[in-house]
Amino acid sequence: MAREFANEKLVVKKSTLTGRVRASGAKNSALKLIAASLLAGSRCVIRNVPSISDVVTMIEVLRHIGLEVSFDSGSVVIEPTSKPNLEAPYHLVQQMRASIEVLGPLLTRYGFARVAMPGGCNIGSRQIDMHLDGLTRMGADIRIRQGYIEAEADKLEGSRVYLDIASMGATENLLMAGTLAKGTTIIENAARDPEIEDLSNFLCKMGASIEGAGTSTIVVEGVDSLGGAEHKTIGDRIEAGTFLIGGAMSGGNVTVEGVEPVHLENLLVKLEEAGCHVGTLPQGVIVSAADDIQAISVQTLPFPGFPTDLQPQMQALLSIAKGTSFVTENVFESRFMITDELNRLGANIKTKGNHAIITGVKSLSGAPVSAPDLRAGAALVLAGLAAEGVTEVYGLHHIDRGYENFEEKLQSLGASVRRVLIQGEDTP
Ligand code: EPU
């Protein structure tokens, strides 16, 4: 199961990552697959689910609603309930914003849902207006009362919904809502991430009628009911990308198996541009480090653009590149919290608005640093592997939200990384 202790740190020493590692199931798919089980009239089994704290939180949300859920050896088994409590409470939503993904399924299946308003988070303000506007267009009556979203609809009506931004979360919520709505729901400017296709495949196994998932127009024909289904979660492209970048910046050679190369094309193109050698397997990717990493420009964009979830790791890599790199963050406004921490390790990064200007340095030097969020935490560990001396990474609860057995996997690639208890005098 996911780790219980937040009072730990990772002690990281310079090492070269070399070898093979298997990607876990995708966090950002598994969370939605679990939420989608709310739509099913009988048992669902989801395999290849990573043991991370965000999954535990989503399971807690379903248990709070009244479903019977077990999680063992990577499989989540979900039994429906005849007496649901149609609510996602504040203490769970506050831990994980993805809890909002139960709104669409509960509303379309039961005609009512009460979900705590997600607050701010470390990477930006993260609005949910498109989730709510879309459901309103489908006939929901939505009000905010005492910090909760209360949504009601006798029967959602299929509708044409245009998303201002290709939001992953809004696409998924509306896709799930459409499965049991009356008539046809069309989502325009839908997010095209592979995790949305994975969700759609699961819903179709449950009996839903969906076309176009993975493209910017998704068409959902509402059906009367959905049954249980069994499904295997796709591999985690962001976890895989993290290990590949780690190999590239530590002078190594890493193969990640269990992930679709096409899901990582955006990263592979950039790593090649930086001078790395890149190869693909039918279900895997190989990256060998460049002799000298070259400075490049990176802009984050919704899929198939470069993923914002690999942007901090890319900053870590480019901090030791030859020349000056430019990184532009277009998805989340506050996703540069990594830069001050990387600068503590000797990087030379300046930010202006959503741009980071990274002047490559010859080497980083180890220091204590704090993970400001999940991906930045992983990026700091990678930086520690490339730095001279010892790096201590605090704030591991962020990393444990999304990386299964992170240090064990790194160790299997030859990394010197140890999780130790924080002693009284340690300062995070
Ligand atoms: N946005 C709005 N209104 C909305 C919804 C989104 O303005 O109603 C904005 C957001 O504020 C943001 C942008 O649209 O600026 C994109 O947000 P999106 O909805 O796509 O993000 P999300 O669904 O909340 C998921 C992943 C994130 C990942 C983003 C972008 C999950 C659980 N989370 O978030 O993953 O960064 O898509 O790809 O799927 C992570 O894994 O570290 C992580 C943060």
Residue-wise pLDDT for 136-149, tens only, equals: 999 999 999 999 99
Please state the φ and ψ torsions of residue 121, each to the nearest 5 degrees: -150, 170
Q: What is the dihedral of CA 335, 340, 346, 348, to 10 degrees?
A: 70
CATH number at residue 270: 3.65.10.10
Testing ligand 1's pocket by substitution, the residue of 126, 142, 263 carrying the most ligand atoms inside 8 A of its CB is 126
Structure tokens at 357: 């200007």
* Cα(56) to centroid(ligand 1), Å: 20
Cα of 169 vs centre of ligand 1, distance in Å, is: 6
Judge if 148 and 246 occupy the same domain. Answer: no
Which atom of ligand 1 is the closest one to the Cα of 375? Answer: 42
Q: Do the domain assignments include residue 427?
A: no
Residue 426 lies in a domain: no
Point out the residues that are catalytic: 121
Identify whether the C-beta of residue 119 lies closer than 8 Å to the C-beta of residue 125.
Answer: no
Query: Of 100, 142, 168, which is best to mutate to test ligand 1, by the most ligand atoms within 8 angstroms of its C-beta?
Result: 168
**Cα 62 from chain centre:** 19
Distance 168 CA to ligand 1 centre (A): 6
- For residue 126, what pLDDT is reported? 75
Span from the CA of 95 to the centroid of ligand 1 (angstroms)? 16
Torsion angles phi and psi, residue 357, rounded to 5: -110, 115
214 and 109 in a common domain: yes
Which one of 182, 216, 232 terminates a domain?
Answer: 232
Give the chain's end-to-end CA distance (angstroms, integer).
25
Q: Does 1 map to a domain?
A: no
Question: For 32-76, what is each residue's pLDDT tens digit?
Answer: 999 999 999 999 999 999 999 999 999 999 999 999 999 999 999
How far apart are the CA of 292 and the centre of ligand 1, in A?
34
Asked if 256 and 282 sit in the same domain, the reply is yes
Same domain flag for 168 and 289 = no
Number of structural domains in the chain: 2
The residue whose C-alpha atom lies closest to atom 29 belonging to ligand 1 is 168
Instruction: Give the binding-site residues of ligand 1, using a 6 Å CB cut-off.
Output: 27-28, 31, 98, 124, 126-131, 165, 167-170, 191, 308-309, 331-332, 374-375, 402
Q: Are strands 368-370 and 390-394 parallel, antiparallel or unpaired?
A: parallel
Which residues, 6+ apart, have CB-to-CB distance to 104 below 8 Å? 131, 135, 172, 173, 174, 175, 176, 177
Please identify, by atom number, the ligand 1 atom nearest to the C-alpha of residue 402: 41
Res 122: pLDDT: 73
Q: Which of 169, 199, 232 is where one domain is finished?
A: 232
| Cα 420 to ligand 1 centroid, rounded to whole Å | 32
428 lies in some domain: no
pLDDT at 120: 62
Shortest-distance Cα residue to atom 5 of ligand 1 = 128
Looking at 232, 260, 277, the residue that finishes a domain is 232
- In this structure, the answer to whether residues 179 and 251 fall within a common structural domain is no
Distance CA 29, CA 321 (A): 33
pLDDT of residue 43: 98
- 109: exposed, middle or buried (C-beta count within 10 Å: 0-12, 13-18, 19+)? buried
Range of the domain at 253: 8-24+235-421
Question: Residue 334: what pLDDT?
Answer: 78
Q: How many C-beta atoms surround the C-beta of residue 178 within 10 A?
A: 30
Say if residue 20 is in the same domain as residue 35: no
What residues does 79 pair with on adjacent strands?
Answer: 68
Type of residue numbered 255: T
Tell which atom from ligand 1 comes closest to the C-alpha of 128: 8
In sequence order, the 6+-apart residues with CB closer than 8 A to the CB of 3 are 53, 396, 400
pTM: 0.97
Of 44, 32, 82, 74, nearest to 207 (Cα)?
44
Q: How many CA within 13 A on the CB side of residue 375?
A: 26
Say yes or no: 366 and 251 in one domain. Answer: yes
Q: Which residues of the chain have pLDDT under 50?
A: 1-2, 4
User: Measuring from atom 26 of ligand 1, which residue has the nearest CA?
Assistant: 28
- The answer on 86 and 12 residing in a single domain is no
User: Quick one: 253 and 227 in the same domain?
Assistant: no
pLDDT value at position 6?
59
Residues 212 and 289 in one domain: no
Does some domain include residue 2? Answer: no
Give the residue whose CA is nearest to atom 44 of ligand 1. 309
